[in-house]
């Protein structure tokens, strides 16, 4: 069912209330600790103390005061966060009352508000098997609400997935180092595996990449419900499956496990920290665990 403008605005407001509270109470400090600035900025001048580096002496202040003073620097806190958000058709699956899209939207909102509260810029890349939309990084609440509105109401042109596309686009469009969260189910087609590996290798050498993998329990385990028709949301392909067969269910579970292990190997090989969040689980706990690992 198509959402009206009023429906979208109501959903945005609900997401803002929930995720802004989470980011204030839980994540802002942990985000600050986990994703520190890379540079150093001038903080103050103070009197020289034994053991201070003489290279930091401020000669102008020293001459005026007749006492040696040094410049004190602190870590430069301003960061840029990029959200790479999967808007392919597979995100519209959910068997627990929540779609993968709902979880991705809330996590993206929490991360965006956490960054905003640390005075960082936030940008967004929506992708399917192409770049669907690019929102350049900016600061401010109104900008974050614009991103959330797009997360809720965006309608992609394509149903497929090609993860190498947004990763390559990130490398090309973001020249300065940034923290990047890839929010996806990572159900990437096999033909793109080599291109994704190469794109991640280049991007991870320039940026701080973090994977947020969202899945649904029914993707890992097929219930015994007799003969059912199943459809691939991205290709439209349909097949009839006898879920009452134990062999079929075991093959289904083994195929999912093999695919999951391939994803994990690819991310680990490129030194990308990852959190896996299920639609029936608490994403807050998973994000806190991720932040503590860094």
- Block means of pLDDT (10 residues each) for the chain, 294 residues, are 67 82 72 61 76 84 90 67 97 91 94 88 97 97 94 94 98 94 95 96 95 95 93 90 95 94 94 94 89 80
End-to-end C-alpha distance for the chain, whole angstroms = 41
Per-residue confidence (pLDDT) for residue 77, from 0 to 100: 55
Q: What is the predicted pLDDT for the residue at 106?
A: 93
Residue 19: the pLDDT is 85
Q: Environment class of residue 150 by beta-carbon count within 10 Å: exposed (0-12), middle (13-18) or buried (19+)?
A: buried
Burial classification of residue 129, based on how many CB atoms lie within 10 Å of its CB (0-12 exposed, 13-18 middle, 19 or more buried): buried
pLDDT at 227: 95
DSSP letter, residue 146: H
Mean of all residue pLDDT scores within the chain: 89
Quote the pLDDT of residue 74.
54
Domains and CATH numbers, the chain: 5-34+78-293 (3.40.50.410), 40-75 (no CATH)
Q: How much is the pLDDT for 28?
A: 63
Residue matched to tokens 């991205």:
234
């Amino acid at each position: 069912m198509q959402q009206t403008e009023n429906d979208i605005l109501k959903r945005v407001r609900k997401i803002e209330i929930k995720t802004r509270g989470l980011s204030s109470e839980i994540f802002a400090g942990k985000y600050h600790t986990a994703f520190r600035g890379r540079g150093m900025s001038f903080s103050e001048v103070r009197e020289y103390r034994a053991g201070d580096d003489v290279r930091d002496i401020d000669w102008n202040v020293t001459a005026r005061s007749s006492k040696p003073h040094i410049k004190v620097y602190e870590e430069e806190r301003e960061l840029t966060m990029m959200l790479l958000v999967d808007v392919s058709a597979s995100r519209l699956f959910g068997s627990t009352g929540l779609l993968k899209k709902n979880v991705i939207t809330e996590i993206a909102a929490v991360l965006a508000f956490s960054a905003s509260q640390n005075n960082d810029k936030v940008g967004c890349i929506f992708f399917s098997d192409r770049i669907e939309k690019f929102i350049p990084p900016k600061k401010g609440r109104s900008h974050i609400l614009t991103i959330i509105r797009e997360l809720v109401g965006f309608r992609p042109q394509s149903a497929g997935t090609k993860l190498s596309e947004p990763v390559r686009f990130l490398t090309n469009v973001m020249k300065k180092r940034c923290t990047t969260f890839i929010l996806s189910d990572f159900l990437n087609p096999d033909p793109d595996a080599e291109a994704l590996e190469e794109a991640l290798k280049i991007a991870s050498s320039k940026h701080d990449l973090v994977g947020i993998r969202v899945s649904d329990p029914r993707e890992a385990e097929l219930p015994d419900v007799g003969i059912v028709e199943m459809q691939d949301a991205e290709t439209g392909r349909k097949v009839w499956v006898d879920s009452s067969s134990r062999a079929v269910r075991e093959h289904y579970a083994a195929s999912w496990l093999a695919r999951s292990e391939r994803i994990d190997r690819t991310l680990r090989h490129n030194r990308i920290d990852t959190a896996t969040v299920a639609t029936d689980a608490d994403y807050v706990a998973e994000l806190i665990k991720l932040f503590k690992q860094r």
